[in-house]
């Protein structure tokens, strides 16, 4: 029966990969939310240049497979860079500051981060746009009647309501992001799926390796969902909906 379980160092491989998954998901979620916000603003802008650019961005990144995008950033971009630049990106670097050491991430991490951020931002932008369009024009007109500037109308009237209306959909995008990080194993990023594949290759214990990986993915999604539900049920959020 002891042969059924994974050795402790294999468990540590899975936990380390899970840590990479969580850190990557958090970094991408923050970056994609900011980028998606600006794409949303451009999409609803009255300027044809901004609106057209946003439409092109959304068309490219929403309508191409994420795996192809990851291959593009990892294999395609590296083929266009000078060999010295590629060598530098693939070499570990560390800078020492007064607060501690900062390690330059591996190239596969940068490619995964870039691909996931652009892909996720396109969907977040559309969720935010739906939230913006759910705010009635009458409320905007009321803000103008009160003498508010356009920036104030966006800040105090439109965007707070848009966030509340789009929050459930945004939460779903963040859940998808955690799952989508598994595709970065295709470019060699040692996240949870990559680690589980390594464990399975060395031990031939397919059920054990992928069962633990599945449990860890489910755990991350459940924790995120619980946090989201707490936010939705919070007094400040509920008051904003009234």
Give the per-residue pLDDT at 155: 80
Indicate if the pLDDT at residue 163 is higher than 60: yes
* Residue among 196, 216, 215, 214 at smallest CA distance from 205: 196
Residue 240 domain-assigned (yes or no): no
Reported as a single tens digit per residue, the pLDDT across 226-236 is 999 888 887 65
Cα-based angle 160, 162, 165 (whole degrees, multiple of 5): 110
- Alpha carbon separation from 171 to 72, 122, 133 (Å, rounded): 27, 15, 19
Indicate if the pLDDT at residue 75 is higher than 60: yes
Domain count, the chain: 1
Residue 238 domain-assigned (yes or no): no
Reported as a single tens digit per residue, the pLDDT across 98-120 is 656 667 788 899 999 999 999 99
Residue 95 domain-assigned (yes or no): no
pLDDT band, very low/low/confident/very high, at 78 (cuts 50, 70, 90): confident
Give the per-residue pLDDT at 235: 60
Residue 30 domain-assigned (yes or no): yes
CB-based contact 39:58 (threshold 8 Å): yes
Residue 49 domain-assigned (yes or no): yes
Residue 92 domain-assigned (yes or no): no
Indicate if the pLDDT at residue 73 is higher than 70: yes
Residue 241 domain-assigned (yes or no): no
CATH number of the structural domain spanning residue 152: 1.10.3720.10
Residue 90 domain-assigned (yes or no): no
* Dihedral angle over CA of 26, 27, 30, 31, nearest 10: -150
Domain holding 40, by residue range, is: 9-82+100-233
């Amino acid at each position: 029966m002891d042969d059924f379980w994974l050795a402790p160092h294999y468990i540590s491989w899975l936990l380390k990969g899970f840590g990479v998954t969580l850190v990557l998901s958090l970094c991408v979620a923050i970056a994609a939310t900011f980028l998606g916000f600006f794409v949303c603003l451009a999409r609803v802008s009255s300027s044809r240049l901004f609106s057209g650019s946003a439409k092109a961005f959304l068309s490219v990144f929403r309508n191409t497979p994420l795996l192809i995008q990851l291959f593009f950033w990892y294999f395609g971009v590296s083929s266009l860079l000078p060999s010295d630049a590629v060598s530098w990106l693939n070499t570990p670097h560390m800078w020492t500051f007064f607060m501690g050491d900062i390690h330059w991430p591996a190239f596969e991490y940068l490619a995964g981060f870039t691909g996931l951020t652009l892909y996720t931002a396109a969907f977040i932008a559309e969720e935010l746009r739906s939230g913006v369009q759910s705010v009635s024009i009458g409320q905007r007109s009321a803000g103008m009647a009160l003498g508010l500037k356009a920036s104030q109308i966006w800040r105090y009237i439109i965007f707070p309501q848009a966030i509340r209306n789009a929050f459930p959909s945004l939460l779903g995008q963040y859940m998808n992001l955690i799952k989508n990080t598994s595709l970065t194993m295709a470019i060699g990023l040692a996240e949870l799926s990559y680690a589980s594949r390594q464990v399975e290759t060395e031990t031939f214990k397919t059920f054990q390796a992928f069962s633990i990986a599945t449990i860890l993915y489910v755990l991350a999604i459940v924790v995120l969902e619980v946090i989201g539900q707490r936010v939705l049920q919070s007094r400040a959020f509920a008051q904003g909906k009234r």
